[in-house]
Amino acid sequence: MRVLGIETSCDETAVAVYDAAAGLLSHRLHSQVELHQAFGGVVPELASRDHVRRLLPLVKAVLEAASTTPRQIDGVAYTAGPGLIGALLVGSGFARSLALAWGVPSIPVHHLEGHLLAPLLEADPPRFPFLALLVSGGHTQLVDVAGFGSYRLLGESLDDAAGEAFDKTAKLLGLPYPGGARLSELASRGREGVHEFPRPMLDRPGLDFSFSGLKTAALLATRSVRTEQDRADLARGFELAVVQTLVEKSRRALRSTGHDQLVVAGGVAANRPLRAALVRMAAQEGARIHYPRLEFCTDNGAMIAIAGCHRLQAGLVDGDLGIRAHAHWPLTTRIEA
Ligand code: KG4
Ligand code: ZN
């Protein structure tokens, strides 16, 4: 089984070819970051138009790199949501048309399922069941993954996602969009303990998160910023608060589920202090930790192709000619931990 995967839910146009037996054959990505930078955030209409421009050349490039002809493709997977509706419609319409023309099924994929399964692209993949911490620009969730397609939501952010909090605080510090990685770079020059931020929700039971208070605390703290060192100290304090919150909630979730593997996925999984702190925590808890490689932490086509391949093998393909695109689409129904 060989699947072409297409991701267009936000500001990356990404395409990949995944083969059930041989693994990932090729992947390409075009980031729109420069296009949106002047606006300080993603402009949905510009994103949609750029996906239209980029998709076909990217598909040609991945097929060529995978030495694959359309005849060897068994299905076309695409992100059907959640995400920006216009951007999703471009990917969905494109993927469905391609599948129709090639006479193969099209496969709708949930963007977060893609992130969850991204570590399966690595050499030493996690085995089901496992606990997943999903930390992206749009979501912060702890998910109990019993098997392929079997996801139980244990906790999530009640307001801002972790990546969103990073981006908003970065903006307050005058860093260009998307600021998560830049804030972290600035924080690496900051000193610990100069700025103390609250650890949201750690004093309460349960596995939910809240990051909007942290953002407000950051706003207040910026008023006393004078020097470059002040900025770095603030960034360090903020990052530490987010990291410790994510780590302690993950520890709780490992204990309450009894899982001995933790998968960390989504754009914020690229954060180095978070990775290091989670490794330490997992060692203390006797658990193994799995990350996708850095480039597959953020949005990519490979995760959609591998999720699509699993779906195709399970027969979960589009049954009619409708165009599927869901701006809001829960991965799971919520179950109280
Ligand atoms: O998963 P992703 O590529 O897109 C969404 O589906 O949201 O995640 C993007 C998010 C952004 O908020 C970005 O600032 C954040 O991941 N991010 C980071 C780092 N690299 C990316 N946040 C903190 N530290 C990083 N190194
Ligand atoms: Zn994502």
Each residue of 239-290: pLDDT tens digit?
Answer: 999 999 999 999 999 999 999 999 999 999 999 999 999 999 999 999 999 9
Distance 136 CA to ligand 1 centre (A): 5
pLDDT at residue 335 is higher than 90? no
Q: Which atom of ligand 1 is nearest to the CA of 270?
A: 26
Q: Which atom of ligand 1 is nearest to the CA of 111?
A: 6
Task: State residue 20's pLDDT score.
Answer: 97
Encode pLDDT of 30-40 as tens digits. Answer: 999 899 988 88
Residue owning the nearest CA to atom 20 of ligand 1: 181
pLDDT at residue 333 is higher than 90? no
Task: State residue 337's pLDDT score.
Answer: 34
- CB distance 298 to ligand 1 below 6 Å: yes
Instruction: Name the average pLDDT for the chain.
Output: 94
Q: Contact at 8 Å (CB) between 271 and 87?
A: no
Task: State residue 178's pLDDT score.
Answer: 82
| Sequential DSSP letters for 122-191 | SSS---SSEEEEEE-SS-EEEEEEEETTEEEEEEEBSSS-HHHHHHHHHHHTTPPSS-HHHHHHHHTTSP
Give CA–CA dist 295/177, Å, rounded. Answer: 18
Task: State residue 200's pLDDT score.
Answer: 79
- CB distance 257 to ligand 1 below 6 Å: no
Distance between start and end Cα atoms, the chain: 37
Task: State residue 38's pLDDT score.
Answer: 86
Q: How confident is the model at residue 334 (pLDDT cuts 50, 70, 90)?
A: very low
Task: State residue 210's pLDDT score.
Answer: 94
Give the pTM.
0.92
- CB distance 82 to ligand 1 below 6 Å: no
- CB distance 268 to ligand 1 below 6 Å: yes
pLDDT at residue 128 is higher than 50? yes
Please choose from 79, 113, 166 the residue to mutate so as to test ligand 1's pocket, defined by most ligand atoms within 8 A of CB: 166
Give CA–CA dist 49/31, Å, rounded. Answer: 13
Q: How confident is the model at residue 336 (pLDDT cuts 50, 70, 90)?
A: very low
Distance 119 CA to ligand 2 centre (A): 14
Distance 185 CA to ligand 1 centre (A): 13
Q: Which of 223-232, 287-296, 324-333 has the lowest mean pLDDT?
A: 324-333
Q: How confident is the model at residue 322 (pLDDT cuts 50, 70, 90)?
A: confident
**What letter does residue 210 receive in the DSSP assignment?**
-
- CB distance 266 to ligand 1 below 6 Å: yes
Distance 8 CA to ligand 2 centre (A): 10
Which ranges of 21-121 would DSSP assign to H, the alpha helix?
Answer: 33-37, 44-65, 85-102, 111-117
pLDDT at residue 298 is higher than 50? yes
Ligand nearest to the CA of 267: 1
Q: Lay out the sheet containing 75-81: strands in order across.
A: 23-31, 12-19, 2-7, 75-81, 106-110
pLDDT at residue 143 is higher than 80? yes
Encode pLDDT of 192-247 as tens digits. Answer: 999 989 887 788 889 999 998 998 999 999 998 999 999 999 999 999 999 999 99
- CB distance 181 to ligand 1 below 6 Å: yes
